[in-house]
Structure 1
Amino acid sequence: ATSTLTHPNDPSLADDFAHAQSAPAPPTTTTSQKKNVRFTDDNNDTDLEAQRSSLFSSQQPYRDEIDDDSAGYRNEAEGLSNTQIHAYHRQILEEQDAQLDALGLSISRQRELSMQIGDELDSQVLMLDESERVADRHASTLNRARRQLGRVARGAAESGEGRQMTAIVVLIIVLVLLIVILK
């Protein structure tokens, strides 16, 4: 099942959407040509050109676009005087100018938006660079504190046992003296 839009996604596209829906369906041919396909294993070069001409002589060359516009123009211009044809051309040129002006405005809006996006990206890059500098500064501060703490811990481990024993002995002596004096 295919889904076909029945209304435009964006209200600003309503005119284009209405025009697209009002466009006539592509013409269909009522006469179908019988097509023949011949397969041969004989690659005789002398018959190759004859085979090509027999296969492609009755067919029109392929084109991507149907040339309906020229017939439409001929129908519009038929029976008009030179002055009327000139006025008709001027009207077509004015319509094309209006379309080109609208396209120019759209392009200038896109340009402005892209410049704003570029400016925003530049400011984001600056903020990321600043964040990186701050993170690096804090990382170096933490590394320096970790090194200092490691030095303190190593110093306490190396000389801590002897000092602790001395402090305990001194405190015991002070305690004994206080007990003797206060009795």
Structure 2
Amino acid sequence: MSFKIVVIGTSLGGLSALQNLLGNLPANFQIPVAIVQHRHKDSDDTLRGMIQEYALLPVREVEDKDEILPGQIYLAPADYHLLVEPGYFALSTDGAVSYARPSIDVLFESAADVYGEQVIGVILTGANQDGMQGLKKVKARGGITIVQEPSTAASSVMPAAAISAVAVDWILSLSEISPLLVNLGYSIRK
């Protein structure tokens, strides 16, 4: 079975977590990666650049109706929900979910609705419970669920909330997540 998308959610402490995780994905990693990082609604393209410094894969902020392509890292733009549609992304200015726009729940739930068991959901460091419901839906639809070990997170609230709500497949330190994603990606091509 091949995976269609990796969805990652993070908040407080997320930049360094993303730099670590994405910096350890090889240039030939083929599964598209979509990320919601909570940030101020007026923030600019700086986050993309700060992640691109570490990542071997190209990083871009999503524009509405962008095609989902392999070997790409996609960032939810500030103040927009990022949704997965069959083969492309959509952006929404609907109200905040779990006090956030972009909301991790919105990304994860839409990915689970579209791709079901072909989704890998990853919750990293963060200081609220956004992502908990989304990860629950990824799991319910047969997808793979991965959560950063709370004791290794800059803020343990988000990973701990996810673990409390979902029978998570893997609870790993940050350094263990990229190798697992690579293994999941390679195991599908054999």
TM-score where L is the length of structure 2: 0.18
Which of the two has higher C-alpha Rg? 1
Q: Which one has more relative contact order, counting CA pairs under 8 Å at least 6 apart?
A: 2
| Structure with the bigger percentage of helix | 1
TM-score where L is the length of structure 1: 0.19
